[in-house]
A = this chain, B = another copy of it.
Amino acid sequence: MKPPRSSKNDVFLRYKLWLSAVSGEGIIGESSYKLLRTVEELGSLKAASEFLGVSYRKAWGDIKNSEELLGYDLTEKHRGGVGGGKSELTNKAKNLLEAYDALHKKMDIAIEDAYEDFKEKIK
């Protein structure tokens, strides 16, 4: 019988990419990216946090933290009004997310590439 193409002990490569402040503290990573994109789509932080299964408290705190570290707002917050309130992305946030996206795509390609090499070496 021929050996399996992939064994239980196969290794894969994973990576995380994030923006950080000089202090080293993380500003935006995968989870904040997703959160902001979901806010963009759903129009509110409440809805976004629920959709992503994370507490509102944390989602709110994360965004606040990012904003403080960046020195500018990522969301325009509105209290009251239709539906109780809403949040939407600022243009700066949209721009940032776009750039983050492009960055990630580049890294995905780079890692794909490096992975081939890596597998060869550890074989």
Contacts and interface: CB of A to CB of B under 8 A. Distances in A.
B107 A111 contact: yes
A18 to B, nearest CB: 6
Interface in A20-73: 20-22, 24, 26-27, 69-72
Instruction: Give how many copies assemble into the complex.
Output: 2
A12 B17 contact: no
A70 B20 contact: no
A10 interface: yes
A15 B13 contact: no
B122 A71 contact: no
B14 A20 contact: yes
Contacts of A27: 11
Contacts of A106: 110, 113-114, 117
Interface string A67-105: 001111000000000000000000000011011101100
A44 B117 CA distance: 31
